[in-house]
Amino acid sequence: MSVIQQPHALDFRTQYGLPLTEQDEEINVDLFAGGGGASTGLEMGLGRPVHIAINHNTAAISMHEANHPGALHLQTDVWAVDPVQTLAGRRIGWFHASPDCTHHSQAAGGQPRKKEIRDLSWVVIKWAGIASPRIISLENVKQIRSWGPLIAKRCKKTGRVITLDLIKCLRTGKTVNRIAAPGERVPRHEQFLVPDPKRKGSTWRRFLQQLESLGYVVEHRVLRACDYGAPTSRERLFLVARRDGQPITWPDPTHAAKPAKGQKLYRTAAECIDWSVPSKSIFGRKKPLATATMRRIAKGIQREVIEKARPFMIPGPAGEAAFMYQANGGFNTVFSKPMTAPMTTVTNTGSQQQLVTANLVHMRGNCDARAMDDPLHTISAGGQHHALATAFLSRQFGASVGQGLDEPAPTITAGGGGKSALVELMLTPDAEQGALRCAAFLMSYYGTDNLSSPGSPLPTITTKDRLALVTVWIGGDPYVIVDICLRMLQPHELYAAQGFPPNYIITHGHDGRRFTKSEQVHMCGNSVSPPPMAAIARANDPWRERMKRAA
């Protein structure tokens, strides 16, 4: 699906559609095209199509072709493409590249890096030297600014090289990387390579110098997608290089948490969630959830539901307040954001984006259940009578916890005010059973001492005989947690968070082949968010500048 804006009023052609100037014939090229995020953004911003798309991945290039059928699609290694042969005499107006970021990203942690992956950006210099595009743009993680040489990781005790070979540690029983034997010479391709801290950023600076030596003015900035209308807080570095004598323009943010004049409020995670997709209780599963997962869920419930008590109501008969649980390789901190905030960064693994909902039975007055036809009441997604579902989005990496639902999409939370208090509630047998189970779960994983709201003199968990209840006060009314559910976010929810148009084809390729859910998620996590790309293209549109000068 090509997203083409209406042409500028002065951008007219002859009756035969012939270009009026040489610049009108210039084409647009997307070098690491993937599933088409950057191409979509370019077309939204420029009002012109992408003419050539190159990518090595079969599924990705097929998704691109399904949505951008007018482009020439080349499924090949980017280094194998001959610019002279491919362009066939045509000149490039806008050239974009989104090289693989995984071996620059901090998400890789202490994992080994490959020089071949980190060096993919050098192909941009090849095209710049041969084809001389009018404008070059590049998107990557901000850590690419630390791009430098790699060295072998060494054992702190022995100083010997750590290899890529995996062995079982006799002392702990865990699988670890083998340490080279004394005097052993390990070939470079078998070494555990990590960035050299002494030459941090040296290769990045040389890359910029190469562009400048080819006549380009180069600038780069880190932009957040939510600032330009995407419901995700995804943060990426964008580079723009021009050789046409025109200044580089950076777009002003169009959205904000507290909008200034002319700005809009952040788009939220809530609008990306498909509330019709059912969630599954964390209890009674055939394969129990991991202990670490349960502990994070308990912490998220405490932070976002019990302490903050910020209910989030969606339009219609059902209501949800939820949080997003995001797992990310070994980090144990729970991060939560309300549903009224942008969603956290979408990665290429689906396991990191999960929605948690806490189902609450709503009690009124003297502990009587609220009627189902009460207009102030919400029905839980799990089907519980007299139930409200509260939710928040949580991510498991970084250093902070908590974010309101009025912020971009990473966290969905319950909202409201009021203090926790000691109450006695009459429940149906099913609700009582669920309340006991939830209370036992929270006490087991979080502890009774922590289950009280800040500033409240009374604990949130209350006990009468054998009945333990986890009570949440919302707007002066008591609710009791009777179930907690968790599900993965679906691909169409992730693409919505990334800022793709709602009619973007993600389920199948140009030839009708169906993509697996894993393929869809992988291509979404690897994609460029279209809104910030569109904003950059719109701000630096060389064709629009020409028409302005002509006018």
φ/ψ bin of 441: left (φ > 0), alpha (ψ from -120 to 50), beta (otherwise)? alpha
Sequential DSSP letters for 59-102 = HHHHHHHHH-TTSEEEES-GGG--HHHHHTT--EEEEEE----T
Taking residues 238-252, what's their average pLDDT? Answer: 96
CATH superfamily of 27-102+117-146+199-267+502-550: Vaccinia Virus protein VP39 (3.40.50.150)
Comparing 15-24, 116-125, 440-449, the range with the smallest average pLDDT is 15-24
Q: What percent of the chain has pLDDT over 90?
A: 38
What are the phi and psi torsion angles at 38 (to 5°)? -65, -40
For residues 551 and 542, give the distance between their C-alpha atoms in angstroms, rounded to a whole number: 14
Can you tell me the distance from the alpha carbon of 163 to that of 188, in angstroms, rounded to the nearest whole number? Answer: 9
Q: Is residue 133 within 8 Å of 239, Cβ to Cβ? A: no
Q: Largest alpha-carbon pair distance within the chain?
A: 87
Query: For 422-427, what is the mean pLDDT?
Result: 50
CB 344, CB 401: distance < 8 Å: no
Closest CA to 535 of 137, 237, 228: 228
Is 1 or 239 the better-scoring residue by pLDDT?
A: 239
Higher-pLDDT residue of 76, 431: 76
3-state SS of 118-172? HHHHHHHHHHHHHHCCCEEEEEECHHHHHCCCEEECECCCCCCEEEEEEEECCCC
What confidence tier does 427 reach under pLDDT thresholds 50, 70, 90? low
Contact 405, 324 (CB under 8 A): no
Q: Are the CB atoms for 496 and 8 separated by under 8 Å?
A: no
Q: Please tell me the predicted confidence (pLDDT) of residue 320.
A: 38
Tens digits of residue pLDDT in 301-342? 887 777 765 554 433 333 334 665 555 433 334 455 566 677
Other C-beta atoms lying within 10 Å of the C-beta of residue 87: 17
Q: How far apart are CA 175 and CA 194, in angstroms?
A: 19
Q: Counting runs of H as helices and runs of E as strands, what totals does the chain give?
A: 12, 22
Residue whose structure tokens are 């970021």: 101
Q: How far apart are the first and last CA of the chain?
A: 32
Place of tokens 């066939």: 88
Neighbours of 528 (CB within 10 A): 30
Token reading at 84: 């002279």
- Segment 65-80 shows an average pLDDT of 95
Give strand pairing partners of 392: 323, 356
Neighbours of 66 (CB within 10 A): 22
pLDDT 10s digits, 370-422? 322 333 222 222 333 333 334 444 343 333 333 333 344 332 223 333 322 23
What residue type is 225 in one-letter code? A
In the block, residue with structure tokens 């030839």:
511
Indicate the residue type of 174: K
**Reported pTM:** 0.78
DSSP string of 326-394?
A: ---TT----EEE-TTSPBPPP-S-GGG-EEEEEEEEEEETTTEEPPTT-TT--B-TT--TTEEEEEEEE
Tell me what the mean pLDDT of segment 180-197 comes to. Answer: 89
**Is 406 or 256 the better-scoring residue by pLDDT?**
256
Q: Is the sign of the CA dihedral 211, 212, 214, 216 positive or negative?
A: positive
Q: Could you tell me the pLDDT band of residue 87, with boundaries at 50, 70 and 90?
A: very high
Domain boundaries, the chain: 27-102+117-146+199-267+502-550, 150-195, 280-489
Lowest mean pLDDT among 270-274, 327-331, 365-369, 476-480: 365-369
What's the confidence (pLDDT) of residue 109? 52
Q: Which helix (H) or strand (E) holds 256?
A: strand 255-256
Q: Distance (Å, rounded) from C-alpha 403 to C-alpha 396?
A: 14
3-state SS assignment for residue 293: helix
Q: Coil, strand, or helix at residue 410? A: coil
Rg (CA), the chain: 27
What distance in Å separates the CA atoms of residue 312 and residue 515, rounded to the nearest whole number?
33
Work out the mean pLDDT of the chain and round it to a whole number. 76
State the pLDDT at residue 101. 76
Q: Which residue has the tokens 């990705």?
A: 60
**Encoded amino acid at 367, one letter:** C
59: part of which helix (H) or strand (E)?
helix 58-67
* Nearest-angstrom CA–CA distance, 264 and 283: 41
Question: Which are the contacts of 466, defined by CB distance < 8 A and separation ≥ 6?
Answer: 436
Residue 435 has what pLDDT?
83
Whether residue 338 contacts residue 403, with contact meaning beta carbons closer than 8 Å, is answered with yes
Q: What are φ and ψ of residue 164, in 5° steps? A: -85, -10
H/E stretch holding 29: strand 27-30
Higher local confidence (pLDDT), 55 or 107: 55
Measure the CA–CA gap between 120 and 79, rounded to whole angstroms.
9
Share of the chain above pLDDT 70, in %: 69
User: Locate tokens 């079969």: which residue?
Assistant: 58
